[in-house]
Structure 1
């Protein structure tokens, strides 16, 4: 086990596979010691049929969490061993029912005795160990069902990479990035509109000189994200959060959320009580991000954009 001591918890899958191989090898020897011509991989299928009496291959696969091709292959092996048979005499001719043979039912009597011995041995292991592996596996299965290991790793990846993101205030040198990043994402999903060009071509006149702000996200000193805080007049809202865009090559680093947080903080510093945004529901990651930032849906405001089908506000 020196390898696992060196590598640590990242080798979890390899260590579990090794333990599975050890237990499976022992299981095969246990069947041999009881004089049983039986393979460990057959057990889930056999036990399910023992309990349910008759099932289709699809039902068995669903019950034991295996793929249908895998179960089909096991079924054929067990038919060859004389333990089960496919019964075509079901009430629904389209359903191919699998059942135990008389030999299978006779074998089950011996198996039940063996299972008592195996259960007693496992109970002994649990008693001798400091940690109940069986209970821990049940807990881990539940936790991974709630949030997969893949999602957990990606969350930590985002968190680590976001530490290299720096949010800075707009400078003239970022004008091209502000324009190109917005045109890139808008053109990917929609069409550029007159209001887009007005803000992107003249950010000083349309945004900055009216009391707004533009923030830029730098990743390794490269501008990869932008977002604007636009002053709103004759409205219930102080500012609009708009023109948020993140380069596709920098997505997955939490940049949109960091920009949104920074814009909300800027609005708070400027004395705002509520900020507003417009979006489209096909942009599901963006909508989820806005909810995470605390925005809620509102209705009925006039909009210059054809693509807008959702309006949201954030009370600061």
Structure 2
């Protein structure tokens, strides 16, 4: 066990596999003890068919939580052993069903004592432990059904990496990258327009000197994201020029720079923050909703690509 103590929780899957292999090996010996000729891996399918009713492969797979190919393979092996027979469906002749053969029924009757003894032993073993393994497994199955281990790790990775993101104020030295980041995504989906060139080529004049603000997002010191707020006639601000390098996707940079802009607008006493976007940019729209924006009606946009307007009211 020293190996697993050293590897820690990273080896959870390996440790469970080791336990499973131990249980399977001992289960095979138990079948031999009761002179029951059944492979341990067949048991879930066998038990599913024990009520002597016919079922489809799909029905069995759904009931025992195995994949369709896995159940198909077990059924073939059990059929070769003579424990299962196949038949066509009465209502739909194209659908195959399986059920226990007379030989399979005999095995079911023979192993009843084995089932009783094993159940009793497992219950006694659980009383000797501090933790109920059966309940723990059920809890883990429920947790992973709600959110997979992969998804949980992806979120943890994002949190860790986002801690290395630094949000700073724009300075003139960042003008080339400010333009590059925005031009990169605009030209990928649309085309650069006159208003784009004005703001991206002269951000000091068209954004900052008018009372706006620009933030840059640095990841490990490299500028990989940006966002701006531009004053509006009603005292609010427009959230604009949000862009994140494709190399930085998944770090939460869009959320961080967007949140920084929103907090700046709030600090400046703005009644709302407004934005324009396009519904084809689904990740961006989802981000805006996450930041608190909701669909709104606004004045005609100077951008051809705009087909949705949103606002966040303070």
Structure 2 residue 272 is matched with structure 1 residue 274 = yes
In structure 2, distance between residues paired with 1:308 and 1:54: 58
Q: 1:286 aligns with which of 258, 269, 284?
A: 284
Deviations 1:49-86 (A, max 9, x none): 12471112222222222222221111111011111011
Is the 2:295–2:309 contact (alpha carbons within 8 Å) kept by the matching residues of 1? Answer: yes
Q: CA RMSD in A?
A: 1.6
- Give per-residue Cα distances to partners, 1:192-214, cap 9 Å, x unaligned: 22322222122122211110011
- Deviation string 1:10-45 (CA, Å, 9 cap, x unpaired) is 111111111111111111111111101101111111
Alignment partner for residue 253 of structure 2, among 252, 255, 268? 255
Stretches of structure 1 that go unaligned for 5 or more consecutive residues are: none
> CA separation in 1, counterparts of 2:51 and 2:175?
70
- Cα drift, residue 124 of structure 1: 1.2
Map 1:153-232 onto structure 2 (within 5 A): 153-232=153-232
Equivalent residue, structure 1, for 2:57: 57
**Contact 2:162 2:251 survives alignment (8 Å):** yes
Aligned-residue offset at 1:89: 5.8
Normalising by structure 1, report the TM-score. 0.94
| CA–CA distance in structure 2, aligned partners of residues 258 and 89 of structure 1 | 58
Q: Is the 8 A contact 1:90 1:96 kept in 2?
A: no
State the Cα distance separating 1:140 from its structure 2 match.
1.3
Q: What's the offset of the Cα at 1:300?
A: 4.6
Helix, strand or coil for the counterpart of 2:35? coil
**In 2, Cα distance between equivalents of 1:51 and 1:177:** 69
Map Cα deviations across residues 131-187 of structure 1 (whole Å, 9 max, x no partner). 111111111111111111111111111111111111111111101111111111112
Q: Confirm or deny: 8 A CA contact 1:182 1:245 kept in the other structure.
A: yes
Q: 1:253 to 1:24 in 2, by over 3 A?
A: same
Deviations 1:104-153 (A, max 9, x none): 11211122322221211111122111111111111111111111111111
Structure 1 equivalent of residue 301 of structure 2: 303
Whole-Å Cα distance in 2 between the matches of residues 27 and 191 of structure 1?
66
- Gap change, CA 1:178 and 1:69, over 3 Å in 2: same
**Secondary structure at the residue paired with 1:281?**
coil
Match of 1:240 in 2: 238
Contact 1:45–1:60 (CA under 8 A) maintained in structure 2: yes
- Residues 168 and 53 (structure 1 numbering): CA distance in 2 closer, same or farther, change over 3 Å? same
CA 1:222/1:92 → structure 2, altered by over 3 Å: closer, same or farther? Answer: same
Preserved CA contact (<8 Å) 1:281 1:309: yes
- Taking a change above 3 Å as real, the CA distance of residues 54 and 184 of structure 1, as seen in their structure-2 partners, is same
Q: Retained in 1: the 8 A contact 2:34–2:111?
A: no
Residues in 2 aligned to 1:275 and 1:213: alpha-carbon distance in whole angstroms: 13
Aligned residues: 314
Q: Displacement of 1:289 after TM fit? A: 2.0
| TM score, norm. by length of structure 2 | 0.95
Once the two structures are overlaid, the 10-residue window that deviates more, 48-57 or 171-180, is 48-57
Equivalent residue, structure 2, for 1:13? 13
**Structure-2 change in CA distance of 1:200 and 1:114 (3 Å):** same
